């Protein structure tokens, strides 16, 4: 009996590339950031975003980041040959992101197909209205990283002290009351964040994956399990399929609790994979 040909319904990867991505943990040490993007206090790397986009989509499909920052996901999508849209609350980050996208477009081969890539300044909690106003299409994949609660307000952190010393760098995302990173109450933050991700469901194609990159939060000697709590909240909307652990091994160890108590150096993030296993949603936009 002849061997059945390999048919890849999810992405454009060869079987060996597929298997490599399936490992449940990976090490990724981000390359240096562009000088003008150092202002953003918690940007995630385009190189990491591109790996996820190329696994969970095919060329020509459409990616969304509802908390786009300075546009890492959108740039990675362009490099991967995917259409992309992003929402960003902070007008200055949206401006920087559009500039980065414009710079990226200039580096693209003119013979390559034209790709939609739009960073919209707005509040992701109003996603349905933004989708209608901008005639957004249905999405094949969501890749995003939310604020890790209000941990950027922890002025005692070493990195935060460094940023405070440089007026060119932001310590927090914004002073906007709609900014989730400014919510002081953990349960209120979880509720608001979960509501945003739940609101995306009608705008995702059946079978679309949603990757949320997040970290558990340490505060005042206790762990707030943000990754686990968020997973629990979203299970009534999506199917939690799996997780990948993103580890960084290029950071210096600090002697937290030395000689007194157990306090780990946390150099990992959770990349949570949800799937929209739902009936065909209503079409809208282009």
Mean pLDDT score, 246-254: 87
Given a cut of 90, is residue 207 above it in pLDDT? yes
Q: What angle is formed at CA 123 by the lines to CA 118 and CA 128, rounded to 5 degrees?
A: 80
**What pLDDT, on the 0 to 100 scale, is given for residue 159?**
54
Report the alpha-carbon distance of residue 244 to residue 129 in Å, rounded. 32
Continuous H helices in 6-126: 15-21, 46-56, 72-80, 91-107
Given a cut of 70, is residue 264 above it in pLDDT? yes
Report the alpha-carbon distance of residue 234 to residue 195 in Å, rounded. 9
89, two tokens: 């609350």
Burial of 158 (C-beta count, 10 Å sphere; 0-12/13-18/19+): exposed
Return the residue matching tokens 């996208």. 101
Nearest Cα neighbor of 37 from 99, 90, 88, 83 is 99
Given a cut of 90, is residue 160 above it in pLDDT? no
**What pLDDT, on the 0 to 100 scale, is given for residue 178?**
87
What count of other Cβ atoms lies within 10 Å of the Cβ of residue 126?
14
**What pLDDT, on the 0 to 100 scale, is given for residue 209?**
98
Write the pLDDT tens digit of every residue in 111-159: 667 899 999 999 999 999 999 999 999 999 999 999 888 776 675 555 5
What residues pair up with 204 in beta bridges, in sequence order? Answer: 139
Given a cut of 50, is residue 41 above it in pLDDT? no
- Determine what percent of the chain is predicted with pLDDT higher than 70: 82
Mean pLDDT score, 20-28: 93
| Cβ–Cβ < 8 Å for 256, 266 | no
**What pLDDT, on the 0 to 100 scale, is given for residue 156?**
57
Whole-number mean pLDDT of the chain? 86
Classify 14 as helix, strand or coil: coil
Higher model confidence: residue 110 or residue 232? 232
Mean pLDDT score, 72-79: 95
Nearest Cα neighbor of 118 from 71, 76, 79 is 71
Given a cut of 60, is residue 218 above it in pLDDT? yes
User: Which residues have CB under 8 Å from 172's CB, separation 6+?
Assistant: 41, 152, 153, 179, 181, 182
User: 219 vs 140, 150, 151, 263, CA distance in Å?
Assistant: 36, 10, 8, 11
Given a cut of 80, is residue 171 above it in pLDDT? no
Set out the domains of the chain in order of their start, with CATH numbers: 15-251+258-275 (3.40.50.150)
Write the Ramachandran bin of 149: left for phi over 0, alpha for psi from -120 to 50, otherwise beta.
left
The pTM of the full predicted model, rounded to 2 decimals, is 0.87
CA-based max dimension of the chain = 70
Mean pLDDT score, 168-182: 72
Which pLDDT band holds residue 40 (cuts at 50, 70, 90)? Answer: very low
Q: What angle is formed at CA 204 by the lines to CA 202 and CA 205, rounded to 5 degrees?
A: 115
**What pLDDT, on the 0 to 100 scale, is given for residue 75?**
95
Report the alpha-carbon distance of residue 11 to residue 127 in Å, rounded. 27
**What pLDDT, on the 0 to 100 scale, is given for residue 252?**
87
**What pLDDT, on the 0 to 100 scale, is given for residue 165?**
54
Give the sign of the dihedral formed by CA 262, CA 148, CA 187, CA 239. Answer: negative
| Cβ–Cβ < 8 Å for 104, 26 | no
Return the residue matching tokens 């030395």. 258
Report the alpha-carbon distance of residue 130 to residue 119 in Å, rounded. 12
Report the alpha-carbon distance of residue 94 to residue 71 in Å, rounded. 8
Mean pLDDT score, 81-101: 94
Given a cut of 90, is residue 257 above it in pLDDT? no
Which pLDDT band holds residue 169 (cuts at 50, 70, 90)? Answer: low
Higher model confidence: residue 3 or residue 262? 262
**What pLDDT, on the 0 to 100 scale, is given for residue 163?**
45
Which pLDDT band holds residue 172 (cuts at 50, 70, 90)? Answer: low
């Amino acid at each position: 009996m002849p061997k059945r040909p390999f048919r890849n319904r999810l992405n454009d990867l060869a079987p060996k590339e597929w298997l490599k991505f399936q490992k449940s943990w990976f090490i990724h040490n981000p390359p240096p950031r562009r000088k003008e993007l150092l202002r953003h206090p918690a940007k995630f790397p385009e190189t990491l975003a591109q790996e996820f986009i190329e696994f969970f989509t095919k060329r020509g499909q459409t990616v969304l980041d509802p908390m786009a920052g300075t546009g890492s996901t959108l740039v990675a999508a362009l490099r991967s040959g995917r259409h992309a849209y992003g929402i960003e609350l902070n007008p200055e980050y949206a401006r920087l992101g559009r500039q980065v996208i414009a710079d990226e477009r200039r580096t693209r081969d003119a013979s390559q197909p034209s790709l939609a890539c739009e960073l919209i300044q707005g509040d992701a909690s109003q996603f349905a209205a933004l989708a209608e106003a901008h005639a957004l299409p249905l999405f094949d994949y969501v890749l995003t990283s939310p604020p890790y609660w209000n941990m950027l307000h922890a002025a005692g952190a070493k990195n935060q002290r460094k940023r405070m010393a440089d007026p060119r760098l932001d310590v927090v995302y914004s002073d906007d009351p709609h900014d989730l990173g400014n919510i002081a109450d953990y349960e209120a933050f979880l509720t608001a964040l979960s509501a945003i991700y739940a609101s995306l469901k009608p705008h995702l194609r059946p079978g679309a994956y949603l990757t949320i990159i997040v970290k558990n939060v340490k505060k005042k000697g206790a762990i707030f399990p943000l990754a686990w709590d968020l997973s629990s909240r979203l299970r009534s909307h999506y199917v939690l399929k799996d997780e990948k652990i993103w580890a960084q091994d290029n950071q210096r160890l600090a002697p937290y609790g030395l000689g007194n108590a157990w306090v780990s150096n946390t150099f990992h993030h959770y990349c949570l994979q949800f799937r929209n296993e739902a009936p065909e949603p209503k079409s809208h936009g282009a």
